[in-house]
Amino acid sequence: MSGALLVRGARQLLTLRGSGGPRRGPALKDLGLIEDGAVLIRQGLIVSVGPSRRVENLKDARQAEEIDATGRLVMPGFVDCHTHLICGPWRLTDREGEPSGGEPAGNASLGVRLPRGVSTRRLELEARRRIGSLIRHGTVAVEARTGYGQDERGELRILRAAAALQDGPLDVIPTYQGLGALPAEFASRSEDYVEWVCSHMLPLVRRRRLARFVDAACPPGVFRPEQVQRYLVRAAELGFRLKVHAGQFAPDGLARLAVELGAVSADHLVHVSREEIAALAASDTVAVLLPGAVFQAGSERYPPARQLIEAGAAVTLASGFSPGGCATYSMPMVVALACARMGMTPAEAVVAATINAAHALGGAGRLGSIEPGKQADLVLFDVADYREIPYHFGVNLTRMVIKRGAILYRQGDILWEED
């Protein structure tokens, strides 16, 4: 045996090939679709992609282990570029009786924090179990941001747990969210807290190489935009790449700040002005939209995906998974919400949740598309057409997940017989 793997006979193979940068405008619908497609994999990397009749006749393919994808959809695995994968307890009882129509929560300032006694090992084990569920829904790479630790010990425990996950099955990309909640010990002293984060926490996280990205949120009445700017400027000086919660709760001007500072992404964008949309469209900053957080909050105000796309912004989708405001890690459900509530087409949503999301994590060189030289990260769905993914909302149609050429998940049998 050659150690090769051949996925053949796909009814539709979505390659998303040929992306020099994040997709925009009409390119957001370019799936690189091949009917009756095949993928040849060797040593965890993609070797060849094309029609089955061509790929299966290659020398390595003749000796490869075969996966029959006949009648099914094969596409790149989902890349979830905004989550609180490692987090505290769920926000349950205080959601009972909440009125619908509120703004998205999803922030550590809303009463959720890491229990002080929880160990790094426990956080790691809980995250590993959660990763198993992500895999079963087709996710192959995930961002893990802090924010629920709040104090130094809590935040470092989250980052150490993320580091421990690096030997796991998925790509886990850590982000330090130093601004978002005001710890109790800094109550009514936001200025002191920002100074402490800038002078102590940011250098500490950088020195220990615990995060690639730094993120900031600006909940009303907690931080001011100028404090967020000072924090982000300091992070950039230390060499971090920047992410910004922008327009999450109210108009705040942070989308424009993200563009001015060259941030990798501006996330949420529920409240964003025409001027900010134009600025995003003219920039390299990716717009990360989180419809799941809006859905769970019961709000009718979703990010203006159509306006962003038509203006030429690079749009990305993420789950926004967190105990504070979004309990889903199902990217197929996020795709369904994007189509049903934000006016995105299925093709646009698939691109936004794969190759564009990979750009939002700085990983498009290895993730997000099925092209020779990239990691062999594929998902097989029990559908014949990609448009069925958003059509069957809330249903897990994942048949198989392949990560770096290894099968991580294969749909199991139902242990039930009809009388």
328-349 as b/e, with b when 16 or more CB fall inside 10 Å?
bbbbbbbbbbbbeebebbbbbb
What pLDDT score does 415 carry? 62
Poorest-pLDDT segment among 63-72, 142-151, 302-311: 142-151
Class of domain 4-76+368-410: mainly beta
Quickly count: other Cβ atoms within 10 Å of residue 59's Cβ.
9
What pLDDT score does 34 carry? 97
What pLDDT score does 417 carry? 54
**Reported confidence tier of residue 329, pLDDT bands at 50, 70, 90:** very high
E strand residue ranges, 30-97: 33-42, 45-51, 65-68, 73-76, 78-80
**Reported confidence tier of residue 416, pLDDT bands at 50, 70, 90:** low
Reduced to 3 states, what is the DSSP secondary structure of residue 327? coil
**Reported confidence tier of residue 418, pLDDT bands at 50, 70, 90:** low
Mean pLDDT of 137-153: 91
What pLDDT score does 182 carry? 84
Q: Which residues contact 20 (CB under 8 A, 6 or more apart)?
A: none
What pLDDT score does 23 carry? 95
What pLDDT score does 161 carry? 94
Mean pLDDT of 36-60: 96
Class of domain 78-329: alpha beta
**Reported confidence tier of residue 184, pLDDT bands at 50, 70, 90:** confident
Closest alpha carbon to 347 in 390, 314, 306, 288: 390
> Is the pLDDT at 12 greater than 70, yes or no?
yes
Instruction: Supply the pTM of this predicted model.
Output: 0.92
Mean pLDDT of 364-390: 96
Mean pLDDT of 5-23: 93
> Is the pLDDT at 144 greater than 50, yes or no?
yes
Q: Are 146 and 158 in contact (CB under 8 A)?
A: yes
Highest mean pLDDT pick, 106-120, 281-295, 314-328: 281-295
What pLDDT score does 264 carry? 97
Mean pLDDT of 293-300: 92
Cα separation, 248 vs 268, whole angstroms = 5
Could you read off the pLDDT of 90-109 as tens digits, one per residue?
Answer: 655 454 545 444 444 434 44
Residue type, position 105, single letter: A
Per-domain residue ranges of the chain: 4-76+368-410, 78-329
More confident residue, 185 or 82: 82
Reduced to 3 states, what is the DSSP secondary structure of residue 265? strand
Q: What percent of the chain has pLDDT over 70?
A: 91
More confident residue, 106 or 191: 191
Could you read off the pLDDT of 149-182 as tens digits, one per residue?
Answer: 878 888 999 999 999 998 889 999 999 999 988 8
More confident residue, 384 or 1: 384
Reduced to 3 states, what is the DSSP secondary structure of residue 283? coil
> Is the pLDDT at 141 greater than 80, yes or no?
yes
Mean of the per-residue pLDDT values of the chain: 90
What pLDDT score does 87 carry? 80
Token code pair at residue 401: 């997940």
Mean pLDDT of 380-400: 95
What pLDDT score does 186 carry? 86
Mean pLDDT of 227-249: 96
